[in-house]
Each structure stands twice: as C-alpha cells, then as structure tokens.
Amino acid sequence: MTNGSAWGTTRQGLRRLLIGDPLPTSAHAEERLSNGEALAILSSDALSSVAYATQEIVLVLSLAGAAALSETVPITGLIVALMLVVAISYRQTIKAYPQGGGSYRVSHDNLGVVPGLIAGASLAIDYVLTVSVSVAAGIAAITSYLPALAQERIPLSLLAVGLLMLVNLRGVRSSARLLSLPTFLFMGMVVTLVVLGLVKLRLGLLPPLDAAAQTRQLAEVHGGELAALGPVLLMRAFSSGCAALTGIEAISDSVMVFRPVEWRNARRVLTGMVIVLAVMFSGISVLASQLGLVYVENGPTLLYQLGARVFDNGLLLTVLQLSTLLILLLAANTAYADFPRLAAFLAQDGYMPRQLASLGDRLVFSNGIALLSGFATVLLVLFEGSVTRLIPLYAVGVFTSFTLSQAGMVMHWWKERRAGWLGKALINALGCLVTAVVCAVLLYSKFSHGAWVIVVAVPLLVALLLTIKSHYRLVARRLRLSAEVRLKLPEPLREGGSPVVVLVGHLHRGSFEALRYARTIADTLVAVHVDLGDGRAEAFQEQWKRQLPEVELVILASPYRSLIDPVKDFIHQFERDNRKDGDHFCTVVLPVFVTRHRWQNLLHNQSTYFLRNALRREGTRVVTTVGFYL
C-alpha cells in the first residue's frame, strides 16, 4: 500500500469514528424530529437567552444608579409583548411557507432580490453571533462557579465550538438525542428557581439588598460617576434585553425537519416555546428586581447570584449552573440547524458557493456547519469571549430580518387575496411596524457601542453575494448549449485507439469539449454520469438521448451521495473488461473549468481534483483533464 493510500484509509477511518458511517439518501425522511426533540434542538437559543437577557438590562440600568433598577420589570414586560407579536406573525409564516426558508425566502419571493439578500445576510451574521454569544455565556456560567478557570475563557470557548461542530456533523437525530436532556433540565431548573424564589419572597425568607448596599456596590464599579436615566439609556437597556428574541425565527426556517403534518407541528412547538420563554424571562426579571441584585461585567452572572440566594449554595445551585452551561453551549445548535440550511437556500439560488447546498455523509449540510464554526471561532478570539462585548452586535440583524419577513408576508397576502387575507395581512403589518420601530431603536442606541459593525457588514455581504451570482451567470452563459440541437462529434477511430471513459455531470460546452477530445483518441468511448439522488438523472438521460445518442451513457447510482466511490468501482471494472496488450491503457477524461481569477475556484466544488487524486491512488494509469476556459 502506498503512503497516499495508507493516509487516505487512516483519514477515512478517523472520519467514520468521529461522525459515524454515511447514511443513504433514502434515510432522509427518517431524519425528522418529534415535537419534543424539535423543542430541544430548535428552541435552545431562544430559551437559553434568559441566562443573560435580564442581566444585560440590569447592567445598562445600573449606569444610572440603584433607583434605575426598578425599570427592569417594565422593560421586560415590553419585550415579552414584542415576543408575542413576533410569534403570532411567524405562526402565519410557517403555514404560508411550509417548506421553510424563513425571512430570506419570504423577502426574496415577495419583495425582490436585494431585500431578500439583506434579510439573508442579516440572518447569517446573527447566526454566527448566536454561536459566539451562546458559547461565551456558557463559559461565563461555569467560570462564575469555578473562578479559577476564568483565565482559560478563550481556549474553553474554542473547545466548545469544536465539540458543537462534531456533534452536528453526526446528524440531526444524534443532535436531538444529545440536546433533549440539557434543554429540559434547564427549563426545569429555571422554573424551580422562579417558583421557589417567589414563594420565599412571599414568606419573607429572601431579604432584598437594601438601597444603600446597592449604591455602595455601584459606586465601587462606576467610581461614583452615574449617568442620567434618560430615554437613550432606557433604549439601550431595552435593546440589550431584546437578545431574548433571538432564535424565535429558527422554527420557521426549519419546518421541514418536523414530522408530518410539518407546518402544524412547527406552529405548536413555536407556541409552546414562546410561552415557556416568556414565563422564565419574566420570572427572572421579577426576582432580580425584588432582590435588588446588581451585575457587573465579568463578575458572577445574575442567574448564578439568584441561584445562590434561592438555593442557599446547595446541590441545586450546582445543577442550575451545569444545566446553564450545557444549554448555552447547545443553544448554538439552533444556529447550527439553521445557518447551513439558509446557506443551502442561498447556494441553490446561486448567491453562495454551490458546495453549501450539498448534503454530507450524515444527511446534514457539512460545509455550512464547518463555515459557521470557522466564523464563530474568529469572533470569539477577536472579542476575547466576552458576552458584554458581543451583545451590542447582537439582535440588530435578527430584527432587520424580522421586519423584512413581515413586510414580505403582507405582500404575500396581498398577491393571494384568498378568503380572510385582510386579517392575516393586518397581523403581519402590525408585526412589521413593531419590529421596524424596535430595529430603529436598536440601531440608534447601539450604534456607537458596536452596531455600526453590522451596518457595514450587511451591505458588504450583500455585495459579495451579488458578485457570486454574477460569476455563476457568466459561467452559465459560457457553458450554455441549445437543449434541442443534436451535437456532432468527430468520427470515431476504427483501430489503434484507447478505451476511454468521460465523466459528465452536465451536458454543456465544457463536457462537450471533453467528449470531442475523447473521440479523437478512443476506439471505445463511454460517458459516465453519477446519480447523487437529487432527482436530475432522469432529465439528464433524456437530454443525452436527444443530443448525443451515438455515445453510450452509463448512469451510476450513488445512494450515499459519493461521487468518487461509484466512479472508482466502475473504472476498475471497465479496465478489466477492456484490457489489451501492454502498449494500450484505459484513459479517464475529466472536464475541468479554468477560471479567470484564482478566488473563483472556491465557487466550484473541485470534484475533478479530488476524483483525479482518488483514481491515481487506486492505480488508474492515465487520467486526463480537458480544460474549458471561462
């Protein structure tokens, strides 16, 4: 065995160990979630936000002194009301778009390309922030309990991202089984904390921190300099607390992962999630306000302080912190469920690299998962794993997408005008108005604290997506062949040629040039197409019969969506069947694009490169590439 073959075998073995054996495409329908599993896997982001949403409100209000902390509960009430408006609006979106797609699909279909891309770009950025914030908050929860680990915050955060990526690469069902217990444990612990805390308050067993002690603590933190409690500060506190709404859209993005009837089950889970979220968020805010707790950046989290008071530093506090750590780490799984799917939608429409639309071994969008992990890692390193530094970037993108989605739904009902359309349009119009106002508040209050980064990043990302689309359009124009014209190849060689196999994915000018070359050296010519289970093989076969009936076409089934394995097996058999004397070899011809700029190679899947290397490792002696210059 050569060194290359040995390394390939070792790499494959390690891959199987880490993410499991490949699943056949036929198993895709089985990779669906029950309502309980969906609540765990799609709601962890929204539910886990209660671990930091209230404390961020308290942190901003404390800038104005102890008296300002009384505004925590009213601000929480406004956010809960907003939560209900958004949830009702998204219930309509789920039913209208049962195939999923969320803000990007709704905005793109009803408002046009640019609004759709703005919604998609905003959501993509927010999903990256979801991973970063959730991981940073999870590590903060454990370092509050174990302060000795505080110096290792960044390495621990990166380790957490790596584990999340590995779990999600294993597939939906594996993720659901892992996520269910921590999510329900966290929900149970927070509800227990709130109920027990309110009972103890009622019985007078939890004396609140007096105003003098609050003032003394805040004076130590702020050096005696307090801000005025004005509209701007209140808006900042409100916008920080709006982090509690991130994750609500996840269910509308992922309707197709539910069991039938998909849209009905998705609406049930969305309703249940919002009720639980509102109860937990309100309860924590009320308890924190009644006890007069103060939070300072990089200090013990507000939830830890509540747990220490209510649970008396006992075993329940340990369980609370452990469940908080787990759900905050796993809250990122909402982004891992939705970012790859959003990227796949964009890739299918030609706005992102086509590789992002391909299912991996475990029926998940592996390339999207890896891309999300890479971006989140960069943010965690740049912002040193600080929740407070990341929060100002958070929620602006998601409210932008909320607004565009609801505006798109209004246009959707206007175009359909079926029975009852006016009432539905008014509900979405209210959602659009409310979220637009909140988005403006977020931008105004957070702009100088980091939101300007999002204002710059979204247009840049939209420009990049449009550039990618422009490249794919150029490629399509260069490759286009008339679908009805019969193609003419040179006359075949009668003797002295080689048996030749040409791999064809599509019948276009690039593959036609490869076939023309192959005909000049072949006495036996076979074209091979791999059916990856995407439903295109039958149409391709019909086109081939119309345009190149004189060339034999072999379609190879690939139940595991592998391009390389079926081709290797076919080539081995073809070489055995066509073996001649020692002066003749079988030749494999691979069409390849040659792009104008090197960066454009990233937009193509490099299948020719990987297939050529795999064939050479297996001992295929003549592998030829025929370039087509774009």
Q: What is the pLDDT of residues 21-50, one digit of tens each?
A: 555 554 445 457 788 888 887 888 888 889
Which tokens sit at 191? Answer: 């509800």
- Scanning the structure block, which residue is given the tokens 């390495």? 155
> CB count, 10 Å around CB of 254?
26
CA–CA separation, 479 and 497 (whole Å): 28
233, 291, 272: which is closest to 444 by C-alpha?
233
> Which is more confidently placed, 550 or 482?
550
Q: Under 8 Å CB-to-CB from 306, ≥6 apart: which residues?
A: 193, 197, 284, 287, 288, 291, 293
Residues 355 and 423 reside in one and the same domain: yes
CA–CA separation, 142 and 149 (whole Å): 8
CA–CA separation, 107 and 123 (whole Å): 12
Q: What is the pLDDT of residues 589-613, one digit of tens each?
A: 888 877 777 777 777 767 777 788 7
Residues 512 and 395 reside in one and the same domain: no
**Average per-residue pLDDT in the chain?**
82
Secondary structure of residue 554 in the 3-state scheme? strand
Q: Under 8 Å CB-to-CB from 541, ≥6 apart: which residues?
A: 529, 553, 555
State the amino acid at position 4 in one-letter form.
G
Cα-flanking dihedrals φ and ψ of residue 189, to 5°? -70, -40
Query: What's the pLDDT band for 171 if we cut at 50, 70, 90?
Result: low
Q: What is the pLDDT of residues 190-207, one digit of tens each?
A: 999 999 999 999 898 888
Query: What's the pLDDT band for 7 if we cut at 50, 70, 90?
Result: very low
Residues 504 and 389 reside in one and the same domain: no
Residues 549 and 608 reside in one and the same domain: yes
Residues 379 and 420 reside in one and the same domain: yes
250, 257, 249: which is closest to 35 by C-alpha?
257
Secondary structure of residue 591 in the 3-state scheme? strand
Using CB atoms within 10 A of its CB, is residue 493 exposed (0-12), middle (13-18) or buried (19+)? middle
**Residue percentage of the chain with pLDDT more than 90:** 20
Secondary structure of residue 545 in the 3-state scheme? helix
| CA-to-CA separations, 513 to 509, 542, 583, 608, in angstroms, rounded | 6, 20, 26, 15
pTM > 0.85: no
Contact 347, 357 (CB under 8 A): yes
Query: What's the pLDDT band for 19 if we cut at 50, 70, 90?
Result: low
CA–CA separation, 42 and 183 (whole Å): 10
CA–CA separation, 159 and 308 (whole Å): 28
Contact 173, 366 (CB under 8 A): no
Residues 247 and 154 reside in one and the same domain: yes
Q: Is the pLDDT of residue 84 over 70?
A: yes
Q: Is 13 inside any structural domain?
A: no
Q: Indicate left, alpha or beta for 363 from its phi (over 0: left) and psi (-120 to 50: alpha).
A: left
Cα-flanking dihedrals φ and ψ of residue 314, to 5°? -95, -160
H or E element at residue 502:
strand 498-503
CA–CA separation, 619 and 585 (whole Å): 12
> Which is more confidently placed, 429 or 217?
429
For residues 101-124, average pLDDT: 88
Q: Is 478 inside any structural domain?
A: no
Contact 368, 120 (CB under 8 A): no
Q: What is the pLDDT of residues 265-313, one digit of tens each?
A: 999 999 999 999 999 999 999 999 998 888 877 678 899 999 999 998 7
Helix ranges, 311-395 (H): 315-348, 366-382, 387-390
Helix ranges, 146-261 (H): 153-169, 172-202, 211-222, 231-241, 250-253
Cis ω before 261 (30° cut-off from 0)? yes
Residues 434 and 577 reside in one and the same domain: no
Q: Is 318 inside any structural domain?
A: yes
Q: What is the pLDDT of residues 526-563, one digit of tens each?
A: 888 888 776 778 888 888 888 888 888 888 887 767 77
pLDDT of residue 1: 46
Q: 196: which strand partners?
A: none
pLDDT of residue 525: 86
Residues 446 and 588 reside in one and the same domain: no
> Where residue 570 sits, what CATH number does that domain have?
3.40.50.620
Chain-centroid distance, C-alpha 498: 48
Q: Is 484 inside any structural domain?
A: no
585, 590, 574, 616: which is closest to 518 by C-alpha?
590
Q: Is 62 inside any structural domain?
A: yes
- The least confident of 113-127, 263-277, 371-385, 602-616 is 602-616
> CB count, 10 Å around CB of 374?
12
> Where residue 152 sits, what CATH number does that domain have?
1.20.1740.10
Secondary structure of residue 595 in the 3-state scheme? coil
Residues 410 and 517 reside in one and the same domain: no
Structural domains in the chain (count): 2
The DSSP 8-state label assigned to residue 33 in this structure reads B
Q: What angle do CA 400, 402, 404 make, to 5 degrees?
A: 70
pLDDT of residue 30: 47
State the amino acid at position 219 in one-letter form.
A
Residues 325 and 465 reside in one and the same domain: yes
CA–CA separation, 308 and 291 (whole Å): 12
Q: How many residues does the chain have?
A: 630
Residues 363 and 298 reside in one and the same domain: yes
Residues 460 and 606 reside in one and the same domain: no
Handedness of CA 276, 281, 286, 291 (dihedral sign): positive
CA–CA separation, 624 and 503 (whole Å): 11
Q: Is 487 inside any structural domain?
A: no
- Scanning the structure block, which residue is given the tokens 């679908």? 483
**Residue percentage of the chain with pLDDT more than 70:** 86
CA–CA separation, 344 and 356 (whole Å): 5
pLDDT of residue 221: 59
- The least confident of 86-95, 254-263, 601-610 is 601-610
Strands of the sheet with 522-531, listed across from one edge: 552-557, 522-531, 498-503, 587-594, 622-629
Q: Is 620 inside any structural domain?
A: yes
The string of DSSP codes covering 143-174 is HHH-GGGGGGHHHHHHHHHHHHHHHHHT-HHH
For residues 383-404, average pLDDT: 82
pLDDT of residue 628: 77
Contact 408, 164 (CB under 8 A): no
Q: Is 480 inside any structural domain?
A: no
Domain span at 549: 498-629
Q: What is the dihedral of CA 333, 118, 102, 423, to 10 degrees?
A: 140
For residues 482-501, average pLDDT: 71
Which tokens sit at 611? Answer: 């297939």
Question: Last residue of a domain, which of 469, 486, 520?
Answer: 469
